[in-house]
Amino acid sequence: MTEEEFTDFYTRSVHRLTGHLYVMTGDFHEAQDVVQEAFVRAWGHRRRLAEDLGPEAWVRTVAWRLAVSRWRRVVRGQRAWRRRGDPAVSDGPGPGAVDLERALRGMPARQRQCAALYYVCDLPVDRIAAETRLSTGTVKTHLSRARARLAGLLDDHPARTTDGGSP
């Protein structure tokens, strides 16, 4: 199958195959995803597609197998979470975390990124510089400004305690 023939095949059959897989899976977006992935794989086999049962049957079979594999992966993941025994409901973030999140949102993007990489991910300055493609001096400047900004924003709010008393 030539590139032009494959393009024609794709144009003629993508909607029909998506419809087939939608009926088979019950999820339109999943059907679109697996059909597109099957066409990508078909592109690599386009020279042999005409020899098989037919290119449309090949793509439909591959798309169905992809859908089943995805479904199995989701089911295995759900089983693993249930076996883990974690509580179904978490307490949510405390007041300090909410204040910190609000303060971080108020920062410029580069300051927030550098602060998160340094304080949350525990990355050294040189690694942050490499990941962000900034100089180490610029990273240090962003971290200094982020610390100053956080101190100013978080000091505005008195420390809260759970017992209602003073900190």
* 31 half-sphere exposure, CB direction, 13 A CA radius: 16
What does the pLDDT read at residue 40? 93
What does the pLDDT read at residue 160? 45
Give the Cα separation of 114 and 104 in Å (integer).
11
Give the Cα separation of 66 and 61 in Å (integer).
9
Quote the distance between the C-alpha of residue 124 and its chain's center: 25
Tell me which residue has tokens 């400047």. Answer: 141
Mean pLDDT of all residues in the chain?
Answer: 80
pLDDT of residue 142 exceeding 70:
yes
Give the Cα separation of 83 and 6 in Å (integer).
46
Average the pLDDT over 141-167 and give the result.
67
Q: How confident is the model at residue 165 (pLDDT cuts 50, 70, 90)?
A: very low
Give the Cα separation of 68 and 86 in Å (integer).
27
Where does 1-158 show beta strands of DSSP type E? Answer: none
114-125 b/e (C-beta count within 10 Å ≥ 16 → b): bbebbeeeebeb
Give the Cα separation of 117 and 34 in Å (integer).
35
- Summarize pLDDT for 2-34 with one digit per residue, the tens: 888 889 989 999 998 998 888 887 889 999 999
- Summarize pLDDT for 45-85 with one digit per residue, the tens: 877 776 656 888 888 889 989 998 988 888 888 888 877 76
Count CB atoms within 10 A of the CB of residue 35: 27
What does the pLDDT read at residue 87? 60
